[in-house]
Amino acid sequence: MELKTHYDVVIIGAGAAGLMCALTAGERRRSVLLLDHAPQIGKKILISGGGRCNFTNRSVSAAHYLSNNPHFCKSALSRFTPDDFIAMVEKQDIAYHEKTLGQLFCNGSARDILNMLLRGCEAAGVQIRNTCTIKNIQHQGETTNRFILQSNLGEISSDTLVIATGGRSFPKIGASDFGYRVAQQFDLKLQPNRPGLVPLYLNAPEMKAIQGLSGISAEVIVKCRGKQFRDALLFTHKGLSGPAILQISNNWHPGDEISINLLPDINLVETIHNWQKNRAKTTLKNLLAMHLSKRLAQQWLEQTFKNKAVDQYSAKEVQAIAAHFHQWRLIPSGTAGYRVAEVTLGGVDTDMLSSKTFEVKTVPGLYFIGEVLDVTGWLGGYNFQWAWSSGYCAGELV
């Protein structure tokens, strides 16, 4: 379809939030143009959840999000809920399953979700253009309240403009700081960005301590800044990863200490004392290997004391060993960065927008939705739910 020169709604960023907003506005018979600079639409959806897209979570509340204003997300999450998105998925007969902790994934492929959104846009008459470079945005506020975009597709104007360009994470598939620059153009406050849901790197002494453990995982409890997560930790060549680490990375700031309990199911002091009391003959390494991988158990133990029969450890030694396993304290040297971070923390300050409409309070007709905002979810489908909820709520009003 030929491009028009004027639309009711132009949305920049055809990711999860932009697609959802476009189809919702299109269904209301608004003329909608959805623009993206990437050569392929929806690439992030396609690679999400290991290719199966963890598209939502059965249990979603404001407590699963980080933001300078923790209340901002409540309204949208309650007006477009996980059940609403699940209903869309079921209507399209997309098979899905719950993996763990309420996380819903496609049985087949993430493409099912992308196709559902693209079909929805097509049915709603939304025009989509990829490989589109926006060179300039002008706002004619005083006269007509129009937005005028200069792009490689020519000049396009709209009554409302929605910025859905996401955060800085995964630049190789199209992430950019575009949304933040637009916010600055309109004098909106930004909360500082940090990579989130990202592996953590370690300093040399800690790297030495985990040498040879790369590829081994363990169920742990990890704590930082009063927050804790219980999930799998994965040792890597450069530090720590796995869901537990990705989760805590959202709370971690440079210089913060994190504490890791490698044996969350037992009290090691009590366990060793019980074995000693019962005069059971086993080595500590074998006892530990009942709860951890053998290699990890041995390497971690030998960082404190040599492996011996359990009854040969003094009470003081038992305390030291238990502390080493239950409270591994470390200060990560940094994160793996935006290159691999699943999300970007911070962004457009939510005080600048209405939590009901997502319209900028000082610029009528300008909207920001999705990850570009200072709202970041936990791992587990929460970030897509935020994209769906904010996209839908704005789409209902633009």
Ligand X SMILES: Cc1cc2nc3c(=O)[nH]c(=O)nc-3n(C[C@H](O)[C@H](O)[C@H](O)COP(=O)(O)OP(=O)(O)OC[C@H]3O[C@@H](n4cnc5c(N)ncnc54)[C@H](O)[C@@H]3O)c2cc1C
Residues near ligand X, by CB under 6 A: 12-18, 35-38, 44, 47-49, 53-54, 134, 164-166, 169-170, 174-176, 178, 342-343, 370-371, 381-384, 387
User: Which residue of the chain is nearest ligand X when measured via CB?
Assistant: 15
- Least distance to ligand X from the beta carbon of 174, Å? 3
- Rounded to a whole number of angstroms, the minimum distance from the CB of residue 59 to ligand X is 14
Report whether 15 contacts 169 (CB < 8 A).
Answer: no
What is the nearest approach in angstroms of ligand X to the Cβ of residue 5?
A: 19
Task: Return the H-helix or E-strand segment holding 70.
Answer: none
| Closest to 240 (Cα-Cα) out of 264, 206, 290 | 206
* Residue 193 near residue 347, CB atoms below 8 Å: yes
Q: Which two tokens stand for residue 176?
A: 């950019």
Write the CA distances from 41 to 46, 124, 128, 167, integer angstroms: 9, 17, 9, 16
46 vs 269, beta carbon nearer ligand X: 46
Q: Nearest-CA neighbor of 36 among 52, 8, 54, 17?
A: 17
Query: Considering the complex, what minimum distance in angstroms separates the CB of residue 47 from ligand X?
Result: 5
DSSP letter string, 242-265? SHHHHHHHTT--TT--EEEES-TT
As measured in angstroms, the least distance from the Cβ of 268 to ligand X is 35
Q: How far is the CB of 199 from ligand X (least distance, A)?
A: 12
- Would you say 313 or 367 has its CB closer to ligand X? 367
- Minimum CB distance to ligand X, residue 50 (Å): 8
What is the rounded distance in angstroms from the CA atom of residue 189 to the CA atom of residue 194? 16
Residues whose CB falls within 8 Å of the CB of residue 368, separated by 6 or more in sequence, listed in order: 162, 163, 164, 179, 183, 348, 353, 358, 360
Comparing CB distances to ligand X, the nearer of 47 and 123 is 47
Residue (80 or 170) nearer to ligand X, CB? 170
Question: What are all long-range contacts of 103-108, with beta carbons under 8 Å and residues at least 24 apart?
Answer: 103/54, 103/57, 103/380, 103/381, 104/54, 104/55, 104/56, 104/57, 104/58, 104/381, 105/49, 105/52, 105/53, 105/54, 105/55, 106/49, 106/52, 106/53, 106/55, 107/52, 108/52
Q: 318 or 343: whose CB is closer to ligand X? A: 343
**Choice between 26 and 370, CB closer to ligand X:** 370
- Which residue's CB is nearer to ligand X, number 299 or number 344? 344
In the complex with ligand X, the residue whose CB is nearer, 175 or 297, is: 175
Residue pair 369/17 in contact by the 8 Å Cβ criterion: yes
Q: How far is the CB of 354 from ligand X (least distance, A)?
A: 18
How far is C-alpha 367 from the chain's CA centre?
21
Nearer to ligand X, 197 or 262 (CB): 197
Shortest distance in whole angstroms from residue 293 CB to ligand X: 27
The β-bridge partners of 194 are 345
DSSP 8-state assignment for residue 63: G
